[in-house]
Structures are given as structure tokens and as C-alpha cells.
Amino acid sequence: MPDTRESVRIPMDQVRSVAVLTGAGISAESGVPTFRGPGGLWRTYRAEDLATPDAFRRDPRLVWEWYDWRRGLIAACRPNPAHHTLAEMESHFADFCLITQNVDGLHRLAGSRNLVELHGNIWRLRCTRNCCPPWEDRTVPLSEIPLRCPLCGALARPDVVWFGESLPGPALDASFTAAQRCQVMLVIGTSALVQPAASLPLMAVQRGATLVEINPEPTPLSEYADQIIRQPAAAGLPAWWNAWISVGKR
Ligand code: BJW
Ligand code: ZN
């Protein structure tokens, strides 16, 4: 089977509804480490020690130190052409929903507005007592570790989704809705191994959507894709978008 199927072309002016699912790969060229590829975080660190509620209960200092280090890395990163292309695409469709698994905040920085952050945001913090509203804190490095809630003094935690935790209900609902009603679903830079995010493109396919994958490596979704761009996102997405928009104008 060919790795790149360039043949699928739905005229852009016939498309009203687009959903996009992004993963760590879209931010790789901005300098944010991925999780599972070469140089990925899970090659050096164990998710069980750092990204589960049990790990945080056992050793909040260790988990906070790891997040403080990652926040420092991400603070130095800027959106790349793939983030900017998605922000531009938003204005071309009546219904456009960008669903990201990333916690780095780069989509919003690039100007995306109709955005669902499925796994939370590393710059938002919350109180472990759940009695106080979440707050934004962009301080790098953090003023104290482990950080405490400024209102009640309980332990604070990053407002991200760890393994074994439920995803935020409104984010999950919005992404199911978008996946079920889109005509085109674009999947960019995710290994598609983590549930329930990985099921969203399959939901879209079951409802008849065209699936486009942009990823230099094959994933479990590749066999369902109508079009595959085997390139890094920062080059592959702008080229794909320019090709699609120029077909629409002809
Ligand atoms: C490029 C590129 C370039 C490189 N351009 N591309 C069966 C059914 C349902 C659930 C489960 C199940 N079995 C197990 C579960 C539970 C679990 C799960 O899915 N585990 C699997 C690993 C097996 N899921 C959960 O626990 C979720 N909660 C949940 O399901 O609640 C209900 C429930 C609970 C308990 C049991 C059962 C149900 C929560 C998942 C939370 C994930 N959290 C993390 C950390 C977030 C916080 C943080 O960042 O600190 O989210 S883990 C990590 O993985 C992070 C990512 O968002 C997520 C996905 O990773 P992603 O984005 O795909 O990155 P990579 O690195 O994997 O892939 C990068 C890709 O980019 C690669 O393909 C490269 O080729 C590509 N790439 N350069 C384009 N330049
Ligand atoms: Zn509190």
C-alpha cells in the first residue's frame, strides 16, 4: 500500500464542517518534546512516576519539579507554521473545531479560538481540594515547589489530565460533537495511542467524514485515512492547505 495517497480532493467550497485533532508532533518543530518518538519524554521518564494521580499523591515535589522543567522548556517555544495555518483555516469554514491533546498553549498563541484542550493546559493550575477556581500562572520557574493554592493553602496541581483521570466533561462533549458532524477530519502529529482522543477520528470516519493524516510516521489511524501526508507538520500542513484552497478557487 502506498504511504502517501494524494488523490483525495473534496472541493473546499463544498465543505462546511472541519474538525482537527492535534498531538505533540505539531509542536515538535517549535521545540516541545513529544512523548513517544525518538527523544520523547516517555523514553526518559516513566509516566507512572510523573503523570498519574498516584504519582502525585506519592511525591508531589517530584511531579512539580518535572512540570516546572517542562514549563521552562515550553515558555521558550513559539507557534510554528502548522499552528498558524490552523488559526488561518478557522475563518474559512462555517463550522471549525480544533481539538488538541497538547497542554502547551501554542494553538491559542497562534490565534486559534474555537479550541478544545482535551488534556488541559500546563499554564493553568488548580487546587487539589477542588474548592477554589483554577487560575493561570505563567511564572517560570515557579515561586515554590510543591506549589500551594493561594486561597486555601492546599496543594496545587497542574490543570492537566493524567492517566486514569477522566477528561473534562465539556471538552469531551465538544470533541465528540465535532467528530460526529464534521465532513473532513484532519489528524496531525499524534501517535493515536491514547484514549479517548484516539477514537475521535474513527467516530468521524464512521459518520462518513474524509480523514486526512499528517504525520511522518504511520499510526493505527493510517489504514482509515483517505489522504496521508508523510511529512513533518510545519511543512506538510501549509502545503496541503495551499493546495486545497487553490483547488477551491479554480
Ligand atoms: C510529528 C512530527 C512533526 C513527530 N510533525 N508529526 C482503553 C480504552 C479507553 C481508555 C484506556 C484504554 N486502555 C487504557 C486506557 C486509559 C488511558 C490510555 O489511553 N492509555 C493508553 C496509553 C493505553 N487513557 C486515560 O487514562 C485517559 N483517561 C481516561 O480514559 O479516563 C477514563 C478511564 C480511566 C481509566 C481506565 C479506563 C478509562 C487520560 C489520558 C491522559 C493522557 N495524558 C497525557 C499527559 C498530559 C499532561 C502532560 O502533558 O503533562 O497526555 S500522556 C500524553 O499522551 C499526553 C498526550 O496528550 C497524549 C498523546 O500523545 P501524542 O500527542 O499522541 O504524542 P506522541 O508522542 O505519542 O506522538 C507524537 C506523534 O507525532 C508521533 O506519531 C510522531 O510520529 C509524530 N511527529 N514529529 C508531525 N514534526
Ligand atoms: Zn484552594
What mean pLDDT comes out for the span 47-76? 97
The residue whose CA has the least distance to atom 23 of ligand 1 is 194
107 given a catalytic annotation: no
- Atom number of ligand 1 nearest to Cα 34: 66
Q: What average pLDDT is seen over the chain?
A: 94
Instruction: State the pLDDT confidence band at 4, using cuts at 50, 70 and 90.
Output: low
CA 192 – CA 222 distance, rounded (Å): 10
pLDDT for position 218: 98
Residues whose CB is under 5 A from ligand 2 (ion)? 127, 132, 149, 151-152, 154
Q: In 10 A of CB 227, how many CB atoms?
A: 20
pLDDT for position 2: 41
39 lines ligand 1 (CB under 6 A): no
24 lines ligand 1 (CB under 6 A): yes
CA of residue 52 to ligand 2 center, whole Å: 20
pLDDT of residue 3 exceeding 90: no
pLDDT for position 26: 98
Testing ligand 1's pocket by substitution, the residue of 44, 157, 163, 228 carrying the most ligand atoms inside 8 A of its CB is 163
CA of residue 162 to ligand 1 center, whole Å: 9
Q: Tell whether the torsion through CA atoms of 41, 120, 22 and 28 is positive or negative.
A: negative
CA of residue 152 to ligand 2 center, whole Å: 4
pLDDT of residue 41 exceeding 70: yes
CA of residue 47 to ligand 2 center, whole Å: 26
Instruction: State the pLDDT confidence band at 6, using cuts at 50, 70 and 90.
Output: low
For the stretch 18-36, pLDDT in tens is: 999 999 999 999 999 999 9
54 lines ligand 1 (CB under 6 A): no
pTM: 0.96
For the stretch 93-120, pLDDT in tens is: 999 999 999 999 999 999 999 999 999 9
